[in-house]
Chain A
C-alpha cells in the first residue's frame, strides 16, 4: 500500500490477515487449552468485553465467515433479504465451527441479529446464549441504572459457563486493559489519519480485527509494536483524496475491497470497521463503581453507528463533524447488502452531505464477494471525478 515497513511488521500483518480469515479460531483454541476456561463469542458490536474478561473468560468477536464458507443450511433458515453475516454466523454454528464457544452473546442492534439469538438458542440448547438489551434512550435519566442491571444480569449468566463473579478491583483492571487497548487503537488511527502514507488502512484493519480473537493483553503488545514500527515507516505522501468510510460497522467488507479503495487513490482517514473492540471514544473512568462506569460509558462515550440511537447526537450531524475533523474530502458509504439500519441512515447521511457540499459514493458489498471489477470501476470513477474536478 505504498508504505515501507520492516519485514517483521509486514509478517505481523500477514499473520493477522491469516488469523482473521481462519474459521478454526486457532488463537481461541490455544487460549482454551492453556487456561481450561470458556470462550464467549459476541456478535459483533457494543459487547461489554470487560465483563467477560473480568469473569476469567475469553471474549471473541464473531464477524461472520467472510468468503470462507458456502451456505448449506443457513439460507433456508433465514430466507431471502437477510444480510450475509447473520447467515454465515448461523452456518458456522450448524456446521460445528462454533463448538468451541461455550457462550454466545447478542444484543439489540437490529431485528435480524436479535432473531438470530433465539434461533441459536433453539439449535444449541447446550450453550449459554444471552441477549443484552442496550438502551435506545440514552437521554432518559433512568437508562444508566437500567443498563447497570442488565450488565449485572449478564455477569450472573456468565457463571453458567464458569465465569467467576468479578470483584470491583478485577473489573477496574479489565477496564484498564481495554482502555489501553482502545487508546493504542486510537493512536494508530490518529497516525493513519495524519500520515496515511505510513500506515495503510488495510494493514490497520487487519491488526485491529485480530483483537477479536486474541486475549486483550496479547493484542495490546501487538498494537504497541505496530505503533512503534509504523511511526518509523518510510513512505512518501501521495496525491490521494482523503475519504471517510461509513456504514461497515457490523458485517465487514472483504479485505480485498478495502485494498481496492486504497489502490484507487483514497487515503481512508476514518472508518467504522471492527467497532467491537473499539467502541468507546475515550477511556472508561476507573471509579469506585466500575459497573456504573461501564453503563454510563455506553450512554455517553460510545462511538455512534447505525445501530446505536442517541437523539442527543443525530448520526448525520456526527458524520459531518467526522468529515471536518479528519479534513476529509469525500465519504464512501460502504454498506453491507440487506443491512437495513445502514440503508435507513443513508437517506439522512445523503441529505446532510449534499447540504454540506461533501461528495459521496454509495457502495454495497457482501462479505462473500469474489468479483470486484464493477466496484473498482465505480470507486476509480469517483476518485477521478474529485481529482480532476
Chain B
C-alpha cells in the first residue's frame, strides 16, 4: 500500500497561525509590562467571556504543554519535573508545564507572564486542581478555585447553576481587586454574543463532516481550529475566523472535495491525541484513508453540535451553563457514551477508535468498559489504543501501527462489498 498523508492547507491554517502568534505576543507584552492582565485557565469549560469584561487575556497551560509536545520538546521539561518529585504516573501535561516554567522554556519566542489570577475552572478534571495549586504556589500567584459541580443528573439543577453564578461574581470582584479595573458588563455581554455566534459557526462546520466524503478530519483538523476557539471565542476576531473556516469548508463540500480523493473509512475517535507523535499517528489513519468524522476531544472546550449556545440575554447564567453542561469533561461518563453513540449513528461512522491516554484519567479511566459497551451492547467495531498525550516515552509506534492496520484490515474485510458499491 502506498503511503498516504492527509493534509490540506487552506486559509484557516494561515489565519490560525497569525492569531496564535498574536496571542503569544500579547502574553509576552503582559510579561514585560504587566498589561494586559492575564488569567491562567483550564481549556475545558473555560469562562473566557468573563475575562473579556476586563480586557484580560487567557493563559492556557494546556496549550503551552501541547505546543511543546507537538514540536518534540516535551521530554526535557517532563524530566525536570520528575527530578522535582513528580511521579512517572502524574499527568505529563502538568509535568511539561511546570518543568518548562522552571527552565524558562516557552512555546513561542516571547515570555509568559505570571498570571494576574490563577483561575482554576474545575470542570471534572481533578488533576487541574492540583496543577493550578502548584502553578499558584510555584509562581506566587493568587488562586481562585471555581468549583463547577460535575454533571451527575441529566441537566444541571437550579442549585448547581446558582452556585456557579455566585462564584463567577466572586471572580469578578477578585479580578476587580487584582486588576484595578471595573468589570465592563456591556463588554461581557458582547463577548457572550460573540461566543454564541462562534458556537453556531463551529457547530455548522462539525455537521459538514456528516457529508461523504467529509471535507475535513474532525479529530486532527479540528485541533487546528481549537486554538482560536479557546483564545478568541469571545471576540470579533474569533467570529471572523470561524466565518472564514465555515466558508472554506462549505466550498469544499460544494466541490465534493473530501479529505481524501476517495474516503475509505469513517470513524469516531475518543480521547486526546498523542501530541508527541501527532503526525505519525495521523499518517497511520491516512494510510487507510480513514477520516474521523467526529471526536470527543474536539468538545473539550464546548459541546455545541447538539444545539447548546451561550445565551446573550443571560450572560452569567450562560457562562454557568456552559461550564456545567456544555463541555465533554464535565459531563458524566455515560453521557459521553451517548455522545459517541450519536456520533456513530448520525455521522455515519463504521467504527470507534478509543485512545487511552496514560496522563488523563478523566478521559481514560474506564475506557475498557466503554469498549465493552460499544462492541458487545451496540455491535460497533472498536479499536483500543494506549499511549500518552505529552510524554513521548509511551508511544509504541510499531505496536500502534500494527493494531491500526489490523483494525482497518478487518473493517475492510467486513465492508468490502459496500465500499465497492460506494466507489462506483
Q: Which residues of A contact B (CB under 8 A)?
A: 75-82, 86, 108-112, 114-119, 121-123, 130-133, 135-137, 139-143, 145-146, 149-150, 153, 307, 309, 311, 314, 337-338, 340-341, 343-348, 350-351
* Other-chain residue from B84, B126, B145, B162 in contact with A108 (beta carbon distance below 8 A): B126
Known pairs A141-B166, A145-B159 / 14 extra A-B pairs, C-beta < 8 Å: A80-B358, A81-B89, A82-B361, A82-B365, A111-B126, A111-B127, A114-B333, A121-B334, A122-B337, A133-B149, A153-B157, A314-B133, A343-B87, A350-B85
Q: How many residues of B contact A (CB 8 A)?
A: 50
Give min CB distance, B177 to chain A, whole Å.
14
Minimum CB distance partner of B131 in chain A: A344
Contact A309 B129 (CB under 8 A): yes
* A77 adjacent to B85 (CB under 8 Å): no
**Taking the nearest CB of chain B, how far is it from the CB of A332, in angstroms?**
15
CB <8 Å contact, A146 and B334: no
Q: Is B195 an interface residue (CB 8 A)?
A: no
**A136 and B150: CB pair below 8 A?**
no
CA distance A130 to B125 in the complex (A): 19
On chain B, the residues within 8 Å of A314 by CB distance are: 133, 137
**Secondary structure class of chain A's binding surface, majority of residues:** helix
Are A119 and B89 interface neighbours, CB within 8 A? no
Which A residues touch B122, using CB under 8 A? 136
Q: Which of A109, A131, A142 contacts B152 (CB 8 A)?
A: A131
Asked if A341 contacts B130 (CB within 8 A), the reply is: yes
In the complex, chain A residues whose CB is within 8 Å of the CB of B333 = 114-115, 117-119
Bound CA–CA A186/B124 (angstroms): 34
Cβ A116 vs Cβ B361 within 8 A: no
Which stretch from B225-233, B297-305, B368-376, B412-420 is at the chain A interface? B368-376
Contacts of A136 in B (CB 8 A): 122, 129, 145, 147
Residues of B at under 8 Å CB distance from A?
84-87, 89-91, 94, 122, 124-127, 129-130, 133-134, 137, 143, 145-147, 149-150, 152, 157, 159-160, 162-163, 166-167, 170, 332-334, 337, 356, 358, 361-362, 364-369, 372-373, 386
B124 proximity list for chain A (CB < 8 A): 111, 114
Please determine whether B90 and A140 come into contact, CB atoms closer than 8 angstroms. Answer: no
Distance in angstroms from B354 CB to nearest chain A CB is: 10
Q: Are A133 and B152 in contact (CB under 8 A)?
A: yes
Q: Is the CB of A140 within 8 A of B362?
A: no
Q: Is the CB of A122 within 8 A of B358?
A: no
Inter-chain contact A135/B147, CB cutoff 8 Å:
yes
Using A112-B365, A136-B147, A340-B361 as known contacts, say yes or no to A141 and B159 having CB atoms under 8 A apart: no
Give the 7 A-B residue pairs with the shortest CB-CB distance, closest first: A118-B333, A137-B147, A344-B130, A149-B159, A142-B166, A111-B361, A343-B87
Please tell me if the beta carbons of A140 and B332 are within 8 angstroms of each other in the complex.
no
Taking a contact as CB atoms under 8 Å apart, the answer to whether A118 and B159 are in contact is no
Chain A residues with CB under 8 Å of B133's CB are 309, 311, 314, 348
A311's partner among B86, B89, B143, B163 (CB-CB below 8 A) is B143
Contact B87 A131 (CB under 8 A): no
B170 and chain A: residue at smallest CB distance: A140
B84, B91, B159: residue with the most chain A Cβ atoms closer than 10 Å: B159
Separation of A249 and B171 alpha carbons in the complex (Å): 32
Q: Give chain B nearest CB distance to A128 CB in angstroms.
A: 13
A79 adjacent to B356 (CB under 8 Å): yes
Which residue of B127, B146, B364, B369 contacts A123 across the interface (Cβ within 8 Å)? B369
Q: Bound state CA distance, A351 and B86, in angstroms?
A: 11
B366 touches A137 (CB 8 A): no
Chain B residues contacting A348 (CB-CB under 8 Å) are 133-134, 137
Identify B386's interface contact among A79, A117, A118, A122, CB under 8 A.
A79
Among candidates B130, B334, B366, residue contacting A116 with C-beta atoms closer than 8 Å:
B366
Q: Could you give 17 example pairs across A and B, Cβ below 8 Å?
A: A77-B366, A77-B369, A78-B365, A81-B361, A108-B150, A109-B126, A111-B124, A114-B333, A122-B337, A123-B369, A133-B149, A133-B150, A133-B152, A142-B170, A145-B163, A345-B130, A347-B84
User: Which residues of chain A are within 8 angstroms of B358 by Cβ–Cβ distance?
Assistant: 80-81
Q: Is the CB of B365 within 8 A of A111?
A: yes
Are A311 and B145 neighbours in the complex by a CB distance under 8 Å?
yes
Q: Would you give the shortest CB distance from B50 to chain A, in whole angstroms?
A: 16
Q: Does the CB pair B166–A118 fall under 8 Å?
A: no
